Amino acid sequence: MRRPVARKLSVLAVSAAVVSVGAAAPPAAQHTTARKVPVAVGYGGAVSSVDADASAAGIEVLKKGGNAVDAAVATAAALGVTEPYSSGVGGGGYFVYYDAKSRTVRTIDGRETAPLTADSNLFVENGKPLAFADAVSSGLGVGTPGTPATWQTALDKWGSKRLGTVLKPAERIARDGFTVDDTFRSQTAANETRFRYFPDTAKLFLPGGQLPVVGSTFKNPELARTYDELGKKGVGAIYRGDLGKDIVDTVNNPPVDPSSGWNARAGKLSAKDLAAYRAKLQAPTETSYRGLDVYSIAPSSSGGTTVGEALNILEKTDLSKASEVQYLHHFIEASRIAFADRGRWVGDPAFEDVPTKELLSQKYAVSRACLVKDDAVLTSPLAPGDPRHPAACAAGGTAAPTTYEGENTTHLTVADKWGNVVSYTLTIEQTGGSAITVPGRGFLLNNELTDFSFTPANPAVHDPNLPGPGKRPRSSISPTIVLDKYGKPVVALGSPGGATIITTVLQTLTEFVDRGLPLVDAIAAPRASQRNAAKTELEPGLYNGDLRTKLEAIGHSFSLNPEIGAATGVQRLPNGKWLAAAETVRRGGGSAMVVSPAP
């Protein structure tokens, strides 16, 4: 689902030397809205997210002695209040953590899972695949939520605070309210028809039957009570308790307004599915690029393998000396190739034989990179290669087109005074998720199962992303942490945006590492996204410029996308200083904060 508000995007050169702020925690006694700034430089730790209240929640925990993991969970919980159409306890995500003491990167796969009764025909009805719109706003598209388990797992393994403690800032924001901005109103407007199908959703997000007014205070006391219950009882309240029973009842009997005429197909979620759910601790993906070590999330997400493969393809091209046209040309072609391979090879490794190591090998990247020419464009959909048996410049075979993924998610990046770092992307799939609110609980349920292929993307090719019992749908989420040769952080970043997450992270990394842009400028730069399609999507800053004409002369074709992604990042500076960076324009701008501008 596209963002409802198109904005003119341009590179806004915000100097870190000019914008340097420390964020004070909001007082508990009254509602305040923190001020958004896209860059913050200082000490004691840093938080960057799309929302100022959420970033302030993370800073509050850091100021009270919490570490990066504690602050990340606090920020994520607050985003569940202020960005409820992007994230929340009804969804899932992927958590990447750098431990400063051991100088190692660890990850959690908190992706939602299909019911244990699901099979490859989950979205087939009367012999035909369901229309995407019919599957989205239904119980059928809801996967077992993974976010609560991710929070608890992260805190148990690496945190220093209790869940109840780090949920308190978010609970306060839900109870006291936050200020409605243009983005929140426009997202609500884009989902108004769907929201009216479900009385509990309409009651919560269309107060008094109307769209929320910009500048008004939006409160969610039901979510405040849910957070309080989770804090007191733990996430077992969802996976083995009354909260979970409410989720199961809602999925299997969607509370639809009979007068709407909407067929909110029942899901198949059970208490057994919730009890069986586990957030998976697993090794990250790792690749070397320009002498740096790039870590991300391994399958079930395709983010780490696809970003990593594209970086490996670009390794032999000196992007620092390339013209802007040649830089974008090579970036686009590397993305095209990596997506061709992703579509054939990446799925849930519990069900699919995913050649992760081979996809990330430099030998395989060399065999694919030779397809790229300076003066010609590859044709999409491009056929995949075979990473287990690399053949130089192989161009034959059958392509597997990229399937649709909802573009709405949210990302946060956190660092603490000890040098620990978290890069965490969480989601309920598309804007508004399933549009189904759990009655009395204050949160929307995901529609993540629609990230599965409804039927094989290409009948002639094995599709690793078909539904299965307990299977995780393939994701593009790409939370990334980059270390130097000493094992210390250089930068961490990530983005929302469905399949465009991969290209956003890849472009931001190469703009920062190769092109030498300050992190905030690399995040703000107008984006391109090629996902093995006939046309490459461009934001207005590129679509309306001379670069588009020059790229078309090589053979590229383009379509306009008003907004791609909404990245956040943190960068380690010398002497314990951190730089936090967020969007300058996208989603109304992001929010970067540090604990203190002074040592």
- What residues act catalytically? 409
d(CA 476, CA 206): 31
CA geometry: angle at 59 spanning 53 and 61, to 5°? 110
Q: How far is CA 336 from the centre of its chain?
A: 20
CA geometry: angle at 340 spanning 490 and 523, to 5°? 30
Indicate the DSSP class of residue 50. S
CA distances from 385 to 105, 354, 365, 378, 400 (A): 29, 14, 10, 14, 11
Paired tokens of 213:
């007014």
Judged on CB neighbours under 10 Å (0-12, 13-18, 19+), 323 is: exposed
d(CA 412, CA 263): 35
Query: CB atoms < 10 A from the CB of 125, how many?
Result: 15
Residue 438 one-letter amino acid: V
97 close to 414: Cβ distance less than 8 angstroms? no
CA dihedral for 290, 291, 296, 300, sign (positive or negative)? positive
Number of helices and strands (H, E) in the chain? Answer: 20, 20
CA-wise closest residue to 403 among 324, 463, 484, 487: 463
Note if the bond before 212 is cis, omega within 30 degrees: no
d(CA 285, CA 304): 6
Q: What are phi and psi of 454, to 5 degrees?
A: -70, -40
d(CA 128, CA 30): 53
Query: CB atoms < 10 A from the CB of 585, how many?
Result: 18
Paired tokens of 512:
């920062």
d(CA 293, CA 76): 26
d(CA 548, CA 408): 26
d(CA 142, CA 381): 30
Name the CA radius of gyration of the chain, rounded: 22
d(CA 476, CA 411): 13
